[in-house]
């Protein structure tokens, strides 16, 4: 059976799926077709249920839970770090009220975190890799950086205004900021969901165990990151929480989506359910 597997063309996702991409992690009867798109495109494709398994923003998952379950592995958390708000000139956090801020899409977790931090701003939707230039060109007063931009912004002449991961951890008493997860179509059925889930977890564990070769592969997706920065980026977003959310990670997801709902930023009642685990309503 062919399984479509959507993920971002970024070092952390590439690292996670190296085992499958290299053919060293396999499962009889399964063939994976990788689909590489930016995270907002993957979010929109998941709304159409056009991918069997896909990376999605935790924010977007609130609108997908009727069709997809979260896999208990494959998550990206910002544990005391996360999306960065940057500006061309030095701004204080208070200056963001009423500002035009470049964001990588309205379904991204970065957008929801930004809204929770500062509800009053005008969003400018910009592809994530163009946000630094949009800020430098004056198209926006500030921008929310995800992926490798979090490590390279200073070399572009940008200044940090606030780290949303730091803010969230302090505001929640120590929880990591849930950014992305892997979701799987419920329509595949429990047996296939369990089978696919096991292979994907094995691929993550394989990358962690064979870190050097997995990094060599992931480095190709770094858009200019050298080995040291690629290693640092992968270390930030592929770790123990990636192998399993744990109760701390699960609580972070519940809290993040509940806060969004309470603030009126999420228009549905979020249902957080992990594949292979009892429904919250059970």
Domains and CATH numbers, the chain: 2-77+178-262 (3.40.190.10), 84-171 (3.40.190.10)
pLDDT of residue 192: 96
Task: Write out the H or E segment, with its range, that includes residue 144.
Answer: strand 142-145
Indicate if 147 belongs to the active site.
yes
- Name 28's Cβ contacts closer than 8 Å, sequence gap at least 6: none
pLDDT of residue 227: 76
pLDDT of residue 281: 46
The string of DSSP codes covering 184-237 is: EEGGG-HHHHHHHHHHHHHHHHHHHHTHHHHHHHHGGGSTT--HHHHHHHHHHH
pLDDT of residue 224: 67
Q: Please state, in angstroms and rounded to a whole number, the distance separating the CA atoms of residues 107 and 39.
A: 9
CA 53 to chain centre: 14
Q: Please state, in angstroms and rounded to a whole number, the distance separating the CA atoms of residues 123 and 115.
A: 10
> What tokens appear for 252 in the block?
């972070």
pLDDT of residue 226: 75
pTM value > 0.75: yes
pLDDT of residue 278: 60
pLDDT of residue 103: 97
pLDDT of residue 282: 37
pLDDT of residue 280: 55
The one-character DSSP state at 176 is P
- Exposed / middle / buried, residue 201 (Cβ in 10 Å: 0-12, 13-18, 19+): buried
- Name 41's Cβ contacts closer than 8 Å, sequence gap at least 6: none
Q: Which of 3, 37, 8 is nearest to 20 (CA)?
A: 3
Per DSSP bridges, beta strands 84-87 and 142-145 are antiparallel
pLDDT of residue 89: 87
pLDDT by 10s per residue, the chain, length 282: 999 999 988 888 999 999 999 999 999 899 999 999 999 999 999 999 999 999 999 999 999 999 999 999 999 999 999 999 999 988 999 999 999 999 999 999 999 999 999 999 999 999 988 999 999 999 999 999 998 778 888 888 899 999 999 999 999 999 999 999 999 999 999 999 999 999 999 999 999 999 999 988 988 887 666 778 888 888 888 888 999 999 999 999 999 999 999 999 999 998 999 997 765 543
Q: Please state, in angstroms and rounded to a whole number, the distance separating the CA atoms of residues 181 and 72.
A: 9
- Which of 59, 73, 147, 159 is catalytic? The answer is 147
For helices 246-262 and 109-117, angle between their N-to-C axes, nearest 10 degrees: 60
Q: Please state, in angstroms and rounded to a whole number, the distance separating the CA atoms of residues 123 and 265.
A: 14
């Amino acid at each position: 059976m062919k399984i479509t597997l959507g993920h971002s063309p970024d070092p952390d996702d590439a690292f996670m799926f190296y085992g499958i991409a290299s053919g060293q992690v396999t499962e009889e009867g399964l063939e994976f077709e990788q689909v590489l798109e930016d995270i907002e495109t993957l979010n929109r494709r998941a709304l159409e249920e056009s991918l069997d398994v896909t990376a999605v923003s935790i924010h977007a998952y609130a609108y997908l839970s009727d069709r997809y379950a979260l896999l208990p592995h494959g998550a990206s958390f910002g544990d005391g770090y996360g999306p960065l708000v940057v500006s061309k000139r030095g701004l204080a956090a208070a200056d963001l009220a009423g500002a035009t801020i470049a964001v990588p899409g309205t379904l991204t977790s970065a957008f929801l975190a930004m809204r929770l931090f500062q509800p009053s701003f005008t969003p400018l939707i910009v592809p994530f890799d163009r946000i630094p230039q949009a800020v430098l060109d004056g198209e926006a007063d500030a921008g929310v950086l995800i992926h490798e931009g979090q490590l390279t912004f200073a070399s572009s002449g940008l200044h940090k205004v606030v780290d949303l991961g730091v803010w969230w951890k302090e505001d929640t008493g120590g929880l990591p900021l849930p950014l992305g997860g892997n979701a799987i179509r419920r329509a595949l059925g429990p047996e296939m969901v369990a089978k696919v889930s096991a292979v994907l977890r094995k691929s993550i564990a394989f990358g962690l165990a064979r870190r050097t070769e997995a990094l060599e592969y992931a480095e190709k997706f770094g858009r200019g990151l050298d080995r040291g920065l690629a290693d640092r980026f992968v270390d930030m977003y592929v770790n123990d929480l990636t192998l399993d959310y744990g109760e701390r990670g699960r609580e972070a997801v519940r809290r993040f989506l509940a806060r969004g709902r309470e603030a009126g930023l999420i228009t549905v009642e979020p249902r957080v359910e992990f594949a292979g685990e009892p429904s919250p309503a059970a």
